[in-house]
Structure 1
Amino acid sequence: MTHLGHDAFEILDPADAPAPAYGAGALADLLPAVAAGLGVPGYTAHLPLEPADRVCVFLVDGMGWELIKRHPEYAPFLNSLVAGGRAITAGFPSTTATSLASVGTGLAPGEHGLAGYTLAVPGAGYLMNQLRWHPQVDPRGWQPHPTVFQRAHEAGVATCQVSSPLFSQTPLTQVALSGGTFLGRTTGEERMDQAARWLAEHDRALCYTYVSELDGAGHRFGVDSDDWRMMLNTVDRLAKRLAEQLPPRSALYVTADHGMIDIAPEDRIDFDEDWELSAGVSLLGGEGRARHVYAVPGAATDVFTVWSEVLGDRMWVATRDQAIAAGWFGPVVEERVYHRIGDVVAAARDDIAVIASRREPGESSMVGLHGSMTPVEQLVPLLEVRS
């Protein structure tokens, strides 16, 4: 594939990318604010949340702020909360593993280290999918910080996670969401009812619950599909079901890990068929709209130059140090995390994606994608119900 006219456009400045609002209104700030309100030592509220004795966080995978507002007829309950709620930002990349780690630890990606969908394991020569893990990587070594749930439990708060039984023993749950009691419930209705019961049974409680089906519908059918809209309606009914069961002195926060955008086939650039983009690259990490690009030794500068020339008018293309300096991964990037980040990091501004049809056939076939810092991907709801 030949790319023409590389000098005919202005390359985007990575410093101009809308980096997440870490410490001032990001997903990582939610549980620390809740914990501070519950009296858990060591936490500061960077979000202005009124304290409550019983708190439930309901996280809906893939339910962006803009997507809720587009569909008031399918999400009437959630839209009734929008006026009193606000948008906060996911971290970068706006992807599930990164966001769930930020929620559970209260830390930005540069600290917890799950800084992408797939990341290189430094010195190992292979990628690790942060959702599926790798048997040779110790979870606690990869993410050593305690979770907010662990610290709340130690402080005497009755703490639980209500989710699919399939997630009870996963490495991601272990490093991001563990602490207190895990209650496996299969259906969304069972999770809502169990979360409400947990709050009612304890005077000082923190409960987290989660559904993933909206994200699955978006990936398979796209967010501009009847399947996705009907699943949004199901989520809306689940949120209402939980809200109507809240015991006294409770607060419910409905949020998400990222939004989503549909990318047309003609707007997908196939890395596996593109000799320019693939030259000098040893590993291609991340996902279609948020790529970590790992260069062969000595080729990082050349890879950055080519990716900037080919994609720099449509993606924010940065070196590792430029992305860190621009605050994409938070105010701090710990030493153990530094080399997990690509030599080059590319985040889509326009409606495009860099897929890899041979390396990532499943991901490359998805209709709805996410990962970058555009509002439809990055902004997630913080909706509140009190009793």
Structure 2
Amino acid sequence: MTDTSRTPHTPNPAPAAHTTAWPLIPGAHPEPLAPASAPRPEYGTGSLADLLPTLAAGMGVPGLTAAIPELAPADRNCVFLIDGLGWEQLAAHPEEALFMASLLPGSRGGTGRPITTGYPATTATSLASVGTGLPPGAHGLPGYTVRNPDTGELMNQLRWQPWTRPDTWQPYPTVFELAHRAGVHAAQVSSPTFAHTPLTKVALSGGTFHGRLSGEERMDLAAEQLAAADRSLVYTYYAEVDGAGHRYGVDSDTWRGQLMYVDRLVQRLAEQLPPRSALYVTADHGMVDVPFDEEHRIDFDHDWELGAGVALLGGEGRARHVYAVPGAENDVLTCWREVLGEQFWVASRDEAIAAGWFGPRVDDRVHHRIGDVVAAARDDVLVIASEREPNESAMVGNHGSLTPAEQLVPLLEVRS
């Protein structure tokens, strides 16, 4: 990849106009829902993009900033990312997650805290934020599906379809690459399926990749990789909490079973930490269940008002990018606000950028990947597309927006 400027690592002060605190207070939302009233991710002080730069800076990797100063430096650092495990969901299920619950504040010795994912709260965006240490406006993966300005096509950034040259789409080096260049042993331990994907290349490459099928194998190998050098930066990953939530819903028996299993994995890894190590458990987003009725699932494919003037519908149900027919941008914005304005924060591209949804800056190459209209759900609602997105429209659990249930993810710490 091209080694470009790492300026976005420098913490940026929040604009003075922003006063929304976490968590949101039910019933305290201003009406109508102005874009600036939405809670903004804590870029530069407590977001996923700040985690790896903080750890690597503590190991002496040059050019990075310790944006989360309460994380004490360690010679060996491991990040275990559990796909789909939000802070609120973890806190609501202490009996299924006994080990992780012991790391929550209020538990004896628990120092865990929530951090924010970044917008949108979706896997491709969050993994890129983790691995590059950059907010979405800089790394350039600002949604589940976004328009490629060069081709005019929708690009699925999780599946990387249609194929786009990775180092052009995301040109920054990852933190793992920077660490490797600085003499730190960098490794990723995940499913073999992800070894050569474009998303891995742009978000998580650098050092060595180790594919293992079972969670237990990944935990054991992650511990071995931590011990492989005096300075180590290791990443490992588990996906099925997210899969259970999408298929069956948060709080389903299947989801609870996955939470119990991954809790045992966390404990297994924690008990194998070599000396001078820190383990950080986090996630890429939380999740909310949305009822299956017309009130909560608004079908774009059967709503002529929402479809008027729209050329492409991107994003996902709770975090939509809407691309207008040229010249219809203002009309589409007005219509989406009229139809959804009491349930969604609906913003123009410039309003969403000015409100800081995508970070303190948006690179020029990223600007037109963002929708002409951006709609982020506040309530338990979706804009589905039953015909063009049948699989996504059938999901029980969903995510993507700016609410605490989706944005807040755990940052749990174990040290040896």
Out of 241, 264, 268, the position equivalent to 1:237 is 264
Cα distance in 1 for partners of 2:388, 2:332 equals 19
Q: What is the rounded CA distance, in whole Å, between the counterparts of 1:12 and 1:149 in structure 2?
A: 39
Q: CA deviation at 1:232?
A: 0.4
CA contact (8 A) 2:85 2:242 kept: yes
Q: Tell me which moved more, 333-342 or 124-133.
A: 124-133
Does the 8 A contact of 1:149 with 1:178 survive in 2? yes
**Paired AA for residue 41 in structure 1:** P
Structure 2 residue 394 is matched with structure 1 residue 365: yes
Give yes or no for contact 1:55–1:252 (8 Å, CA) kept in 2.
Answer: yes
Deviation at 1:125, TM superposition (A): 2.3
Is residue 11–residue 309 contact of structure 1 (8 Å, CA) maintained in 2?
no
1:8-23 to structure 2, matched below 5 A, reads: 10-23=31-44
Residue type matched to 1:323 in 2? A
Q: How does 1:44-123 map to 2 (within 5 A)?
A: 44-48=65-69, 49-83=71-105, 84-123=111-150
| Correspondences of 1:344-363 after superposition (within 5 Å) | 344-363=373-392
**Contact 1:263/1:368 (8 A) holds in 2:** yes
Gaps of 5+ in 1: 1-8
Question: How many residue pairs were aligned?
Answer: 379
Residue 218 (structure 1) aligned with residue 245 (structure 2): yes
- Deviation of the 1:136 alpha carbon: 4.3
The correspondence for 1:290, drawn from 308, 316, 319, is: 319
Structure 2: stretches of 5+ with no match in the other structure = 1-29, 106-110
Q: In the alignment, does 2:234 pair up with 1:207?
A: yes
Give the corresponding residue for 1:154: 181
* Displacement of 1:134: 2.7
CA shift for structure 1 position 124: 1.5
TM-score, normalised with respect to structure 2: 0.90
Query: Could you say what the CA RMSD is over the residues aligned between the two structures, in angstroms?
Result: 0.9
Structure 1: distance between partners of 2:162 and 2:374: 26
1:338 Cα shift? 0.2
What is the one-letter code of the residue matched to 2:374? V
Q: What's the offset of the Cα at 1:201?
A: 2.1
- The one-letter code of the counterpart of 2:87 is W
- Equivalent of residue 157 in structure 2, options 130, 136, 150: 130
CA shift at 1:135, angstroms? 4.4
**1:199: how far off?**
1.1
- 1:192-224, Cα deviation, whole Å (9 max, x unpaired): 000001112211101000000100000000002
Partners of 1:224 and 1:262 within 8 A in 2: no
**Offset at 1:10?**
3.6
Measured against aligned partners, the alpha-carbon deviations of 1:305-330 in whole angstroms (never above 9, x if no partner) come to: 00000000110000000000000000
Q: Which residue of 1 aligns with 2:289?
A: 262
The answer to whether residue 303 in structure 2 is matched with residue 274 in structure 1 is yes
String of CA shifts for 1:118-139, please: whole Å, max 9, x gaps.
0000142210000111344111
- Return the match for 1:177 from 197, 201, 204: 204
Q: Residue 28 of structure 1 contacts residue 105 of structure 1 at CA under 8 Å; is this kept in 2?
A: yes
Indicate the residue corresponding to 1:253 in structure 2.
Answer: 280
Question: 2:187 matched to 1:165?
Answer: no
Task: Kindly provide the amino acid, as one letter, of the partner of residue 31 in structure 1.
Answer: L
Query: Does residue 329 of structure 2 align to residue 300 of structure 1?
Result: yes
TM-score, length-scaled by structure 1: 0.97
More helix by share: 1
Structure 1 partner of 2:21: none
Q: Distance in 2 between matches of 1:12 and 1:55?
A: 41
How far apart, CA to CA, are the structure 1 residues paired with 2:379 and 2:45?
26
Shift of 1:247: 0.7
SS at match of 1:265: coil
Residue 14 of structure 2 is matched in structure 1 by none
Tell me if structure 2 keeps the 8 A contact 1:349–1:373: yes
Distance between the aligned counterparts of 2:31 and 2:260, measured in 1?
Answer: 42
Q: 2:56 aligns with which of 25, 35, 45?
A: 35
Runs of 4+ in structure 1 off by over 6 angstroms are none
